[in-house]
Amino acid sequence: MDLCPSVKNILLLDSEGKRIAVKYYSDDWPTNSAKEAFEKAVFTKTQKTNARTEVEIAMFESNIVVYKFVQDLHFYVTGGEDENEVFLATVLQGFFDAVDILLRGNVDKKEALENLDLILLCIDGIVDGGIVLEGDANSIASKVASHSIDSGAPFSEQTISQALATAREHLTRSLLK
Amino acid sequence: MAQPLVKKDDDRDEEADYSPFLGIEKGAVLQEARVFHDPQLDARRCSQVITKLLYLLNQGETLTKIEATEVFFAVTKLFQSKDIGLRRMVYLMIKELSPSADEVIIVTSSLMKDMNSRTDLFRANAIRVLCRITDGTLLAQIERYLKQAIVDKNPVVASAALVSGIHLLQTNPEIVKRWSNEVQEAVQSRAALVQFHALALLHQIRQNDRLAVNKLVASLTKGTVRSPLAQCLLIRYISQVIKESSFNSQAGERPFYDYLEGCLRHKAEVVIFEAARAITELSNVTTRELTPAITVLQLFLSSSKPVLRFAALRTLNKVAMTHPMAVTNCNIDMESLISDQNRSIATLAITTLLKTGNESSVDRLMKQITNFMSDIADEFKIVVVEAIRSLCLKFPLKYRSLMNFLSNILREEGGFEYKKAIVDSIVILIRDIPDAKESGLLHLCEFIEDCEFTYLSTQILHFLGNEGPKTSDPSKYIRYIYNRVILENATVRASAVSTLAKFGAMVDSLKPRIFVLLRRCVFDNDDEVRDRATLYLNTLGDGSVAETEKDVKEFLFGSLDIPLTNMETSLKNYIQDPTEEPFDINSVPKEVKSQSLAEKKAPGKKPAASSTPAAAPTSAADAYERLLSSIPEFASFGKLFKSSIPVELTEAETEYSVNVVKHIYDSHVVFQYNCTNTIPEQLLENVTVIVDASDAEEFSEVGTKPLRSLPYDTPGQTFVAFEKPEGVPAVGKFSNVLRFTVKEVDPTTGEAEDDGVEDEYQLEDFEVVAADYILKVGVSNFKNAWESLGPDGERIDEYGLGPRESLAEAVSTVINLLGMQPCEGTEVVPSNSRSHTCLLSGIYIGNVKVLVRLSFGIDGAKEVAMKLAVRSENENVSEAIHEIVASG
């Protein structure tokens, strides 16, 4: 028996319930259509609720879903029936805050899609196979944002554009701190 | 000024539809992926293409095997670039592609290089990727690095290795278990999350070693736990340790309780809640232990965070099931949550209040609920209806207001499931609360006047037919019923005709009037309605005011004591062979079929075996009956009374797997040995079972039916028949030896050699017990059945069962001993209860109906006493049941 607090999926949908980025860690939804059906059910049941100030919570098919909406983005984290609700809310808050940092406060669909690589890396950095890897939003975001050149590589190997990118990232990081 | 304003609007319109992935197509992106092969890699461009690919996969697009391989090889080229951002996208892409074993080899060296890189982020991610895609052989190669990584001073690297270890433990436990020294060291890490991951892995490695887990938990409760997550984990381990230890230590202080209580004062809410929940879930928790946890949960109820309110309420709701008094302190807080914006919270609040409320608060509560019901979804309403039903059963005196509430919501809008829940509740209340009957029936009558669900209408009409005639003024229901004949569809009309007939049969004064109504129904335009009307007109007599005959009543009210599925198969069989003989209802088997029986029949049978269609019958009882009647030697034994569930006579995973099914006849028993040969190189022939019945004096062997051949993995049966005194539940012990001729089989050709060797194989003993002579047959209404049997054939006695583990254990022992069907869910013993009543029903050999009422009590020293009351049609049978218990 596995007692470790775990997450079954992380969903980021738009205001019509379409996927921005989703990641499943459980075999409960084996096919893409099962996943889509779950997303649709969750979206329709939650869309009318007001989850803009506080994280909200509901139960679906013996799963607990915590969610939060910002602009046209809907953030969800799902856990099993017996999971600690507060734990799931913490994961959601970490995800949400990290995205907020990565998108520099412009949390909306357009920005999210334009920075989809950051969002995907962010999800990858929060949970690995259902187990929380990192919960603190600042740590999550800083790992994602460290888009710099391998410090081991000599500068001579860098192209001009890479060097510019490095400079930009250094600037970003100093802004984030 | 106007110009830019307009332009801005245009922009916004475009923006609404704008997406960098608009019109994106798999084929085009795969084309774009060619940039991965460029000698001068453009990291930014490559990142974008990977993002596009990941976007497509995320949207549910799939790559064919060839496409995936192509992308994979292209992506491996990108290891040449030193760009961190690109590398991380490469890692993601490889994980997403989940390459096959031969592909993995291509990236292994690149990833291993990254695992030893000086960049922490590379090390951490390379470990995660490699562990995700690796198999056992490769794992042995990188094991050394992983062990190092676990104790790496960078927490990200250590966590990556530990979490990967947790995943790998599922597939390669023997390798991961070798890391326990390093993991142990990581538990002491100063980094909060490393400690959490190490703790999770260490516990999983040691979970089967209870002593080690105890030590781990004990040492951590004294040391420092650095992260809330690790603390939660520790609390879960503690609960498990407590659960397992409670068997050993009877009384005294519960171990670790103080620690759990201390966690209630932790600064992180997640820990506080975990501890509170753990305390409420302790087995046999006392009120004193509960109090601090309830206090904390009560504080959560007034939190501004919905998650906390929900979590606390859900836990309190569970506590209220076993300790309603402990939760009453929170009643005021919960009442204010009835108006919570979050409907899940509001529903939980209501249902918890319904559990904790006392008699005086019911009316006030109902008023609040009425306002609440109109704006929640059906699924929540059903929960509330069910809670109200149990409340009403708890406070029967309050039936008036609760019944009114139910009838009010019955009249409002709602879907089928919701309406069904209400109707079911009213029916249960009418059954259990005699005072509620008249008003309840009238509510139901009013409901069917305007009911859109045929199923519910027919259900109610049927119920009305049984209960209506017994009320003080049956005539007032006739109007409602006859209205159905005029207004409804054919199904409901037919059902209404039956209901009318029941009134006619039971209430003699109404009979002439019922006849007038039934005669009108003879002209209905539906066959079924006409047929029923004609049938009842003929069975009910001549329409004069006279006592209805007993068998007519039996026909109308008696329940069909045959499972409908059995009836269906028998009728189908009857139609298949045309015959002059009328269908005999007595030929339908009465045994309740169970699906699982058939599945259990051939254990050890490998799923690969596909050539055994005969071994998977749809229903065991049916299959047995068919099987046995096809054997001429057993045809003279008469009707099969009962077949037991298979009893295993061999250990699992032995050369030959054998189980036995005991078939009981009136004066015979037949043992059916189901044999499976699990050795591919052998063919068994002339398989018989030699039975030694010297410990079963009343039985004498009358015949055997050997199994001619038993090839590998194809189950076969051999039979042995015994004679026993007629109608007597003879018991005894039988020892068995499997005898056969074994022939070697050439596994390549599948041909057996000509010469065989005689051999024997010792099987385990089994017994024929009293329970084999009792059929599990349930009754729908135990109380009625009990009263109808009357006190004449009743035998009551008391028994001491000695010290038992728990009341539930004692109850299930007696149920198994008697082999009877528990009724009305009484086999479930609520935890902590000190007494319990269990109702059983069955058919004793000779087709004698038997009902049993068991009352159990347990005292402080776990001594269980039992009062056994048996009623049956034959007092000798009642005696026999006592005999079984006395000798068991």
Closest by Cβ to A4, choosing from B83, B119, B200: B200
Q: Which residues of B touch A121 (CB under 8 A)?
A: 88-89, 92
Smallest CA–CA separation between A19 and chain B, in Å? Answer: 7
Q: Which residues of B touch A113 (CB under 8 A)?
A: 19-21
Alpha-carbon distance B79 to B114, whole Å? 9
What average pLDDT does range B853-863 have in this prediction? 84
> Start-end ranges of CATH 1.25.10.10 in chain B?
450-555
Half-sphere exposure of A24 (CA within 13 A, CB side): 18
- CA nearest to B439, candidates B450, B428, B430: B430
Alpha-carbon distance B277 to B701, whole Å? 61
Q: Which residues of A touch B273 (CB under 8 A)?
A: 84-86
User: How does pLDDT run across B33-55, given as a tens digit for each residue?
Assistant: 888 888 888 888 899 999 999 99
Alpha-carbon distance B20 to B376, whole Å? 40
Query: Does residue A123 surpass a pLDDT of 80?
Result: yes
Tokens 């836990």 belong to residue = B315
Going B76 to B79 to B80 to B85, the CA torsion angle's sign is positive
Q: Which residues of A touch B233 (CB under 8 A)?
A: 3-5
CATH class of A7-176: alpha beta
In the structure encoding, which two tokens stand for residue B98, read together? 């989940």
Mean pLDDT value across chain B: 82
Alpha-carbon distance B373 to B381, whole Å? 7
**In this structure, are residues B869 and B856 in contact, taking their beta carbons and an 8 Å threshold?**
no
Query: Does residue A1 surpass a pLDDT of 60?
Result: no
What average pLDDT does range B496-502 have in this prediction? 88
CB contact under 8 A, A131 and B193: no
Smallest CA–CA separation between A135 and chain B, in Å? Answer: 9
- CA nearest to B240, candidates B271, B213, B273: B213
CB contact under 8 A, B159 and A84: no
Q: Which fold has domain B626-768?
A: Immunoglobulin-like (2.60.40)
Do the bridges between strand A127-128 and strand A131-132 make them parallel or antiparallel, or are there none, so unpaired? Answer: antiparallel
**In this structure, are residues B344 and B372 in contact, taking their beta carbons and an 8 Å threshold?**
no
DSSP H or E segment with residue B15: helix B2-17
CB contact under 8 A, A56 and B342: yes
Q: DSSP H helical segments within chain A, as ranges?
A: 32-46, 85-102, 109-114, 116-126, 137-145, 160-176
User: How does pLDDT run across B555-570, given as a tens digit for each residue?
Assistant: 666 666 677 777 888 8
How high is the pLDDT of residue B590? 64
Give the rounded distance of the alpha carbon of B748 from its chain centre: 44
> Start-end ranges of CATH 3.30.310.10 in chain B?
773-887
Q: Which residues of A touch B39 (CB under 8 A)?
A: none
Count the helices and strands in chain B (H runs, E runs). Answer: 39, 17
Which of the two residues, B263 and B597, has the higher pLDDT score? Answer: B263
Query: Which CATH architecture best describes the domain B773-887?
Result: 2-Layer Sandwich (3.30)
User: How does pLDDT run across B96-140, given as a tens digit for each residue?
Assistant: 887 777 788 888 888 888 888 888 888 999 999 988 888 777 888
pLDDT classification of B702: cutoffs 50, 70, 90: confident
How high is the pLDDT of residue B510? 84
CB contact under 8 A, B20 and A165: no
In the structure encoding, which two tokens stand for residue B449, read together? 């006047």
Beta bridge partners of B690: B737
Amino acid identity of B556?
L
Closest by Cβ to B58, choosing from A21, A85, A150: A21
Query: Does residue B593 surpass a pLDDT of 60?
Result: no
Query: Does residue B395 surpass a pLDDT of 90?
Result: no
> Start-end ranges of CATH 2.60.40.1480 in chain B?
626-768
Which of the two residues, B65 and B554, has the higher pLDDT score? Answer: B65
pLDDT classification of A96: cutoffs 50, 70, 90: very high
How high is the pLDDT of residue B272? 94
User: How does pLDDT run across B683-692, given as a tens digit for each residue?
Assistant: 888 888 888 8
DSSP B376: S
How high is the pLDDT of residue A168? 67
Mean pLDDT value across chain A: 84
Q: Which residues of B touch A32 (CB under 8 A)?
A: 60, 62
Render B32-55 in DSSP notation, one character per residue.
HGGGGG-SS--HHHHHHHHHHHHH
CB contact under 8 A, A57 and B229: no
In the structure encoding, which two tokens stand for residue A14, read together? 């738009």
pLDDT classification of B619: cutoffs 50, 70, 90: low
CB contact under 8 A, A3 and B160: no
- CA nearest to B112, candidates B71, B149, B77, B84: B149
Closest by Cβ to B58, choosing from A22, A134, A150: A22
Least confident interval from A23-27, A67-71, B10-14, B846-850: B10-14
Query: For A110, which residue in chain B has the nearest alpha carbon?
Result: B19
3-state secondary structure of B643: strand
Alpha-carbon distance B121 to B797, whole Å? 76
Alpha-carbon distance A3 to B204, whole Å? 9
Q: Which residues of A touch B307 (CB under 8 A)?
A: 54-57, 66, 85-86, 88-89
Alpha-carbon distance B128 to B166, whole Å? 11
Hey, of A1, A2, A4, which one would you mutate to test binding to chain B, going by the most B CBs within 10 A of its CB?
A4
Which of the two residues, B98 and B88, has the higher pLDDT score? Answer: B88
Separation in Å, CA B305 to CA A35, A168, B807: 28, 39, 42
User: How does pLDDT run across B329-382, given as a tens digit for each residue?
Assistant: 888 888 888 888 888 898 888 888 888 877 777 777 787 787 777 767 777 788
CB contact under 8 A, A135 and B229: yes
User: How does pLDDT run across B283-330, given as a tens digit for each residue?
Assistant: 888 888 889 999 999 999 999 999 999 999 999 988 988 888 888 888
CB contact under 8 A, A150 and B47: no
Smallest CA–CA separation between B230 and chain A, in Å? Answer: 9
Smallest CA–CA separation between A100 and chain B, in Å? Answer: 19
User: How does pLDDT run across B724-756, given as a tens digit for each residue?
Assistant: 888 777 888 888 888 888 888 877 777 777 788
Query: Does residue B606 surpass a pLDDT of 70?
Result: no
Q: Which residues of A touch B200 (CB under 8 A)?
A: 4, 131
Cβ-based neighbours of B592, under 8 Å, separated by 6 or more:
B563, B621, B776, B777, B778, B821
- ipTM for the predicted complex: 0.84
Query: Does residue A159 surpass a pLDDT of 50?
Result: yes
- Torsions phi, psi of B865, nearest 5? -115, 150
CB contact under 8 A, B19 and A55: no
How high is the pLDDT of residue A169? 64
3-state secondary structure of B484: helix
How high is the pLDDT of residue B5? 40
Q: Which residues of A touch B193 (CB under 8 A)?
A: 132-135
Query: Does residue B878 surpass a pLDDT of 70?
Result: yes
CB contact under 8 A, B240 and A85: no
Alpha-carbon distance B691 to B671, whole Å? 10
DSSP H or E segment with residue B257: helix B257-263
Query: For A114, which residue in chain B has the nearest alpha carbon?
Result: B20
Superfamily of segment(s) B450-555: Leucine-rich Repeat Variant (1.25.10.10)
CB contact under 8 A, B163 and A157: no
* Burial class of residue B390, CB neighbours in 10 A (0-12, 13-18, 19+): middle
Smallest CA–CA separation between B172 and chain A, in Å? Answer: 16
Query: Does residue B169 surpass a pLDDT of 60?
Result: yes
Closest by Cβ to A84, choosing from B42, B200, B270: B270
Beta bridge partners of A10: A23, A77
What average pLDDT does range B622-648 have in this prediction? 78
Hey, of B22, B44, B46, B84, which one would you mutate to test binding to chain A, going by the most A CBs within 10 A of its CB?
B84
How high is the pLDDT of residue B601? 37
Query: For A165, which residue in chain B has the nearest alpha carbon?
Result: B44
Q: pLDDT over 70 for what percent of chain B? A: 90
Separation in Å, CA B531 to CA A165, B25, B524, B534, B636: 88, 65, 10, 5, 40
Alpha-carbon distance B255 to A75, whole Å? 41
pLDDT classification of B617: cutoffs 50, 70, 90: very low
Which of the two residues, A173 and B727, has the higher pLDDT score? Answer: B727
3-state secondary structure of B59: coil
Tokens 């997406």 belong to residue = B19
Query: Does residue A23 surpass a pLDDT of 90?
Result: yes
Alpha-carbon distance B825 to B583, whole Å? 35
How high is the pLDDT of residue B605? 36
DSSP B330: G
Query: Does residue B632 surpass a pLDDT of 80?
Result: no
Q: Which residues of B touch A85 (CB under 8 A)?
A: 273, 307-308, 310-311, 314
Smallest CA–CA separation between A84 and chain B, in Å? Answer: 7
Helix (H), strand (E), coil (C) string for B563-631: CHHHHHHHHHHHHHCCCCCCCCHHHCCCCCCCHHHHHHCCCCCCCCCCCCHHHCCCCHHHHHHHHHHCC
Smallest CA–CA separation between B621 and chain A, in Å? Answer: 35
Closest by Cβ to B119, choosing from A1, A114, A152: A152
In the structure encoding, which two tokens stand for residue B272, read together? 């506080």
Beta bridge partners of B207: none
What are the residue boundaries of the structural domains of chain A, listed by start? 7-176
CB contact under 8 A, B310 and A57: yes
How high is the pLDDT of residue A156? 43
Q: Which residues of A touch B119 (CB under 8 A)?
A: 150-152
Closest by Cβ to B307, choosing from A86, A135, A147: A86
A vs B: CB pairs below 8 A: 161
Closest by Cβ to A132, choosing from B121, B229, B342: B229
Query: Does residue B426 surpass a pLDDT of 70?
Result: yes
Render B843-865 in DSSP notation, one character per residue.
EETTTEEEEEEEEEEE-TT-EEE
Smallest CA–CA separation between B59 and chain A, in Å? Answer: 7
3-state secondary structure of B228: helix
Query: For B272, which residue in chain A has the nearest alpha carbon?
Result: A86
Q: DSSP H helical segments within B412-436, as ranges?
A: 416-432
**In this structure, are residues A77 and B265 in contact, taking their beta carbons and an 8 Å threshold?**
no
Query: Does residue A165 surpass a pLDDT of 90?
Result: no
CB contact under 8 A, A146 and B311: no
Amino acid identity of A34?
A
Hey, of A84, A86, A90, A124, which one would you mutate to test binding to chain B, going by the most B CBs within 10 A of its CB?
A86
Query: Does residue B888 surpass a pLDDT of 80?
Result: no
Least confident interval from B299-308, B585-594, B602-611, B816-825: B602-611
Cβ-based neighbours of B26, under 8 Å, separated by 6 or more:
B56, B61, B63, B67
